[in-house]
Amino acid sequence: MQKYIFVAGGVMSSIGKGVATASIGKVLQSKGFSVTAIKFDPYINVDAGTMNPIEHGEVFVTDDGTECDQDIGNYERFLDRNLSAVNYATTGKIYLSVIQRERNLEYGGRCVEVVPDIPNEVIARIQAAGKAASADFVLIEIGGTVGEYQNMLFLEAARMMKLQNPGRVIFVLAGYLPIPEVVGEMKTKPIQTACKMLNTAGIQPDFIIGRGILPLDEPRKRKISIFCNVDPRDVISSPDAKSIYEVPLQYEAEQFGQRILTKFHIRFKNQDLADWRKFVDVIKNSKDTVKIGIVGKYFETGKFTLTDSYISVIESIKHAVWFFGKKPEIIWLSAEKYEKSSALLNELKRYNGIIIPGGFGSRGIEGKIKAIEFCRTQKIPFLGLCLGMQLAVIEFARNVCGLKNASSTEFDAKTNQPVIDLMPEQRELITSKKLGATMRLGAYDCELKTGTRSFHAYGEAKISERHRHRYEVNNEYRKILEDNGLVVAGINPQKNLVEIIELENHPFFIAVQFHPEFKSRPLKPHPLFKEFIRIAISQINSKLT
């Protein structure tokens, strides 16, 4: 019978609950069990598609077109399995489902209440996810921190599941252990307080993960054990690591997996993280650097730089660089500064490759177009993703095809040369103000042109990639673009839409309408990122020669 592991966070956000959940899953996988994972977000948004990427992080997209939290990306990468709509829900989605069922008279005419009907909807989704995956273990991450009003109903669902399924549910609390500089000692009170808050929800944690700069020592473990009512062996030390991929090995060293199986009275199965250990060894021992610049706009917030908006792009770069035994160095480049000064574009020569990722809106667009032109003319390896492809088409249309007014109707609704435009069905949705979850979302087929670099990278003629966008290359301009040397290397056969463009006589100039970063895995880098990095490394070697 399926077992359920709830992971909640205390003290503060961003302590790594998603990585903890994914890592627990990886450890259990290594012992021969099948695992799936679910994330519950406390937002009223029905999905993550309408959330601000600077505030919330990247919007990850699954094959079935679900716009979800970036932690679903971590689950897919660690567990090496594709997830779907059943693996993600927000407070908004839960309430919407209950209200729709009430409107359809599915409650038999009785009064519908917040408790127990909302928690029951949460429980039903957890069970559906486990059934869909035929999983031995279902991991459930509860967003936010304990003590917040927003996630109380998810905690209530967890409490009810424990009552309904004795012996099949355990709880993990991840908390932060600060070391105040003035004091110079690791303090356990924040975790003690978080544990007491969890107790007020009727939940006693079975495990406590201690997150901090340094590993937990035995005195701190004993203290947490006494005041939080857990076995000292169930206080798991998880200090900061240089790579998130080290975390499953931390857990293995703490015998976390064995302790979980013991609590469930399950005999240990095979224990094999050998491939993962080799992968982490490469990460730790790589020395030769590959420098990749990302020209974006979703990483500046005040005086701080936040990278979560592009987390899948970052991880895809790392996977590909580590595949070649090198060390990734990723630098954030502001598109807006290139708008102010073209002279600054010369700094792009310092990098072994440049990526323009996805995004929305007009801010920084002209700076990105200038960066693309510089990469094209200076023969710098370039990879454009989604918006990055659209801007590469605009740049080529303006500076090679002579279409000086070329633009996208996203930025200039009145342009007389809309090389990037809405599809008719998208125009109808915008006109009727139906915006949420109405883009071209999820997996779509793409047929590759033989003899192209893209075909060489994939090694096959038909592929499937995930999308998240409204605007497309306008087919009315395809002939003039191709006549001037733009290679349309990939087409969606169902709608005859441009999916991949590239240039000949360039070390690497490929741009794609989809998001390949969503399908990269630690041990299986995405083919396009792998080819991009291979060329970047060959450029380094040729310069050294």
User: pLDDT band at 272, cuts 50/70/90?
Assistant: confident
Q: Quick one: which H or E segment has residue 408?
A: strand 406-408
Confidence check: pLDDT of 301 > 60:
no
Is 386 annotated as catalytic? yes
Point out the catalytic residue in the list 395, 465, 472, 517. 517
Q: Determine the average pLDDT of the residues in 245-269.
A: 93
pLDDT at 354: 98
pLDDT > 90? residue 490:
yes
What is the distance between the alpha carbons of residues 316 and 518, in angstroms, rounded to a whole number?
8
Task: Give Cβ neighbours of residue 403 (< 8 Å, ≥ 6 apart).
Answer: 397, 417, 419, 477, 480
Choice between 206 and 13, residue whose per-residue pLDDT is larger: 206
Question: Which pLDDT value is given to residue 303?
Answer: 54
Give the DSSP H/E element, type plus range, for residue 502: strand 497-502
Share of the chain above pLDDT 70, in %: 97
Residue 305 binned pLDDT confidence (cut-offs 50, 70, 90): low
Task: Please report how many Cα atoms fall inside a 13 Å half-sphere around the Cα of residue 9, on the Cβ side.
Answer: 23
Residue 302 has pLDDT above 60, yes or no: no
pLDDT of residue 300: 59
- Find the helix or strand (DSSP H, E) in which 353 lies: strand 353-356
Question: What is the per-residue pLDDT across 311-349, written as a single tens digit (0 to 9) for each?
Answer: 999 999 999 999 999 999 999 998 999 998 999 999 999
What is the value of pTM for the model shown? 0.94
456 is catalytic: no
Q: Which residue in 319, 467, 515, 526 is the catalytic one?
A: 515
Burial category of 221 from C-beta neighbours within 10 Å (exposed 0-12, middle 13-18, buried 19 and up)? buried
Q: Pick the closest to residue 499 from 527, 534, 462 (CA basis).
A: 462
In this structure, what token pair is assigned to residue 16? 């790594």
How high is the pLDDT of residue 424? 77
Distance CA 79, CA 36 (A): 8
Q: Which of 44-48, 77-81, 359-363, 451-455 has the lowest mean pLDDT?
A: 359-363
Average pLDDT over the chain reads 93
pLDDT value at residue 361: 80
Residue in 344, 360, 390, 381 with CA at minimum distance from that of residue 297: 360
Which alpha helices (DSSP H) does 81-217 contain, by range? 91-103, 114-133, 152-164, 189-200
The reported pLDDT for the residue numbered 542 is: 81
Whether 488 shows a pLDDT value over 80: the answer reads yes
User: Cβ(533)–Cβ(324) under 8 Å?
Assistant: yes
**pLDDT score recorded for residue 299:** 59
Model confidence pLDDT, tens digit, residues 131-163:
999 999 999 999 999 989 899 999 999 999 999
pLDDT of residue 425: 76
Identify whether 515 is a catalytic site residue.
yes
Q: How far apart are CA 2 and CA 16, in angstroms?
A: 25
Q: Residue 453 pLDDT > 80, yes or no?
A: yes
Catalytic residue among 68, 195, 375, 386: 386
Residue 362 — pLDDT band, cuts 50, 70, 90?
Answer: confident
Please report which confidence band the pLDDT of residue 304 belongs to, taking 50, 70 and 90 as the band edges: low
**Per-residue pLDDT band at 50 (split at 50, 70, 90):** confident
The tokens for 298 are 């979703």
pLDDT confidence of residue 12:
85
Of the candidates 447, 538, 429, which has an alpha carbon nearest to the alpha carbon of residue 493?
447
